[in-house]
Structure 1
Amino acid sequence: MRQILFEVLTDPPGRISSAADVMQRLCTALITVLPIDGASIALMTSAGHAGLLAASDAAAATMEDLQQTLGEGPCLDASRSGRPVLLPDLVGPGRWPAFVASATEAGIAAVFAFPLQVGAIQLGVLDLYRRSTGSLDTLELAEALDFAAATTTILLDLQYGAPDGQLHPLLADAANGHREIHQATGMISVQAAIGLNEALLLLRARAYATERPLIDVAADVVRRLLTFSPDRTHDEQA
């Protein structure tokens, strides 16, 4: 385990890794150590899912996008509770019906979510998935927790090295997308003459119905390519 983390954190010969590279290598390393098929790391805030930092594959990225779009899922529950959410059979618990339906369609059968936080400070969530059902045994769970602790340390180190009053660029990119979603929500609230919570639901419903990432639909709203009228219909413009 320590050797693998050393390799993840050590730059290859002749190359200086970016923070994004390190996060990506961390996701890849998890697949070699644990009986999982994919991993992702998401930035989280008290308001919820704030953006994808790294993903091992398309299914892992889809898992994060679904949770950001729907506002539900194991990642958000792990962040809110501060405890791991372990689902050896995603269909079993009967929670998050929209997320479960879409995630299983993407080939995800089991999910293990680990909060990345220090005390009350929420940093993110490490999400692991499997294409087949099944639990992590005691040793595997311990290794996953070690990886979560290492990821937390990396995130703290990233922000420690950032200029005063600024987010590290990797974190800022994710946070900027989160801010665009808030901006789009406010615009929809004004356009459709509804509250902010209902406006966010409309934005999420549009993203889910069109099978597009929430951030992409929010960007269309901010650029006025997509507007919502008071009768809550939408009008797309070229």
Structure 2
Amino acid sequence: MSLFTYIIDLPQKSAQTGSITAKTEHEAREQISQKYPEGQHLLLEAQAALNSAPVQKAVKKATKKAAKKAAKKVVAKGLSKLERYLYLQHGRCFFCGEKLRLEDASVEHLNPVSKGGTRTEDNEVACCATVNHTFGDMDLKRKFEFVLKSSSDFKCPRVKGKASTAVVPEKLLLAATPENHGLAWSEKEEKQLLSRYQQDMEIEAIAQRHKRGVGAIRARLVKLGQIEEMNQT
């Protein structure tokens, strides 16, 4: 029996090292293959040769590769689409340029999905949820015509008495864009929204029921003339 040491690269995991006893190198490879069927790039050496330069180089390469994979997974899972757009826009609304809190932001499709627009980066920006819902399914030409006519005086609609505070994503904690984000409101859904709000249900809870963002719920309540009236009472 001989003692062999091995280094094997595992998909989506760090490189695995260990030792195994076998009569021959071929037998050792078969045992390792059975233990790690998903393994790749197996390096098998006698124990005395473990500290050799080629093996050390292979260890460093495998470790570096695993670290890169882990880093990519963190970035991919960390930021939601809305957080990423806000970060790239320096925490400001695409249209008015004002500093924007994540909870008041929304992903705007420049060319509406209902008019053939795509849900891709070249057609999406982060903006105030209020202007998103004010624009509705307005086409791209009308949106920019509206903004340009306002020149430097353009401001997105604001909820009365609510200040805007800058928030650029710092922690990777928030969930992805809500399922119904950007979809048009039906008459039935508006009635449900009014009923829930008038029953003093929390806005966060309403947002979960409608599968929309908190900012989107507030924007719709403003449009329906409810937030001012309810806040004053």
TM-score over 0.5 (shorter chain):
no
TM-score, scaled to structure 1: 0.29
TM-score, length of structure 2 as denominator length = 0.29
**Higher-strand-fraction structure:** 1
Q: Which has the larger radius of gyration?
A: 2
